[in-house]
Amino acid sequence: MSPEPTRPAGPVHVLAEVLAGKRIGAFSHLTLAAPGVGERHRPGSFVAVSVGAPGERTRLARRAFWIHQVRALGGHAATVSLVVDPVGPGSRWLAGLSRGDRVEVTGPLGGRAFALPKEPVPVVLVGEGAHSAPLFALAERLRERDCPVHLLLGAADEAHLLSALEARRIARTVTVATLDGSVGVKGPTAALLPDVLRRSGAAVVYAAGPVPLLHAVARAAEDHGAWSQVALGVPTPCATGLCHGCPVPVVGEDGVGRTVRACAEGPVLRGDRVRWDDLSVPGDAS
């Protein structure tokens, strides 16, 4: 379980072109031509979007989105797709963009992406809502390493459930939970964790989602005797490591408590390293 070597090159800041914007359920799926971003992507890395046009901008905090998929499309070597949940003024603006629009994007960001196991061990991937986005590329990579992949996807309702069909293609088992029971088991995602971990015999649990889910994952993994790697979905005002605005209290390898930046030292952290009770989650300026 050593972290992957550091990425080959740093992030870039580019004016990306929207190639496609598609509404699927509650989410808007945006495909961007963002030269240099997709090429360097690893599962768990993310992009920061600037809201509004330069010079007319009045919303200055950046909006972070997981890189969902990277693929070649129409002459672009590595387009980047994002899953946007339009819940705030920034994300609504982004979700409203259409083909040909331009948006400033920085990426791929993150000092630490998901680390892959050296052995072909069983793994569980847990995600909630739009935060499940980075898990699909991760599942592909894990499958290439012959790791049996089990997916646990949760959402408020079916409209907020990300790509369950796609999930069945890449995972050995897929378990779905929705709060309203519109699809899958009715109830919170975390309630199914112990059962999924036991059935899969997982050695590693990967998770992406809101902090309460990640906390539950870290606890369940520890109870089960598995490693956990959690991708923090916390607000990152600059997302690039410059502002020190996304503090995460952790315990270092030396056992000493310290505070790291979710964007620069994360976004993927070992679940047992985060001091969850000290992690306050401010309202998201999404």
Partner 1 sequence: MTGPVRLAGLTLASPVLVASGCGGTGRELAGYAPLSTYGAFVTRTITLTARPGGPAPRVLESPAGLLHATGLPNPGLTAFCATELPALVQAGARVVVSVAGESVAEVAEVVSGLARTSGVSAVELALSLPDAEVAGVRTPREPFATTRLVEAAVAQLPPGVPLLAKIWPDPVRAPEHARAAVEGGAAAVVVGGAQPAAFPDGRHAGLSGPAVAPLALRAVAEVVKSLDLAGLRADVVGCGGIATVADARAHLDAGAVAVAVGSALLTDPTAAARIAEGLAVPERPAPEKPAPEHAAPEHVAPEQAEHPAPEHRTQEDPA
Which residues form the interface with partner 1 (CB under 8 A)?
9-13, 50, 53-62, 86, 92-93, 95-96, 104, 106, 234-235, 237-238, 240-247, 258-259, 264, 280-283, 285
Report the C-alpha gap between 126 and 190 in whole angstroms: 9
DSSP 39-57: GG--TT-EEEE--S-TTS-
* Residue 135 CA: distances (Å) to CA of 3, 58, 276: 17, 33, 22
Collapse the DSSP code of 67 into the 3-class scheme (helix H, G, I; strand E, B; otherwise coil) and give the result. Answer: coil
Nearer to partner 1, 17 or 104 (CB): 104
- CB 276 to partner 1: min, Å: 13
Find out whether 21 and 34 touch, Cβ atoms under 8 Å: no
Alpha carbon dihedral 60, 85, 136, 180, in 10-degree steps, equals 150
Q: 150: which strand partners?
A: 124, 173
| Torsion over CA: 162, 163, 168, 170 (sign) | negative
- CB 272 to partner 1: min, Å: 20
Nearer to partner 1, 87 or 183 (CB): 87
- CB 208 to partner 1: min, Å: 19
**Where do runs of H (alpha helix) occur along 62-183?**
89-95, 134-144, 164-170
Nearer to partner 1, 187 or 247 (CB): 247
- CB 24 to partner 1: min, Å: 15
- CB 155 to partner 1: min, Å: 18
- CB 247 to partner 1: min, Å: 6
Backbone angles phi, psi at 113, to 5 degrees: -95, -175
Nearer to partner 1, 198 or 258 (CB): 258
Could you tell me the two tokens for 175? Answer: 């378990």
Nearer to partner 1, 95 or 216 (CB): 95
Nearer to partner 1, 7 or 172 (CB): 7
Find out whether 246 and 235 touch, Cβ atoms under 8 Å: yes
- CB 57 to partner 1: min, Å: 7
- CB 104 to partner 1: min, Å: 6
Helix 193-200 with 211-224: angle, nearest 10 deg: 40
Nearer to partner 1, 148 or 245 (CB): 245
Q: What type of residue is 158? A: E
Nearer to partner 1, 126 or 214 (CB): 214
Report the C-alpha gap between 125 and 153 in whole angstroms: 8
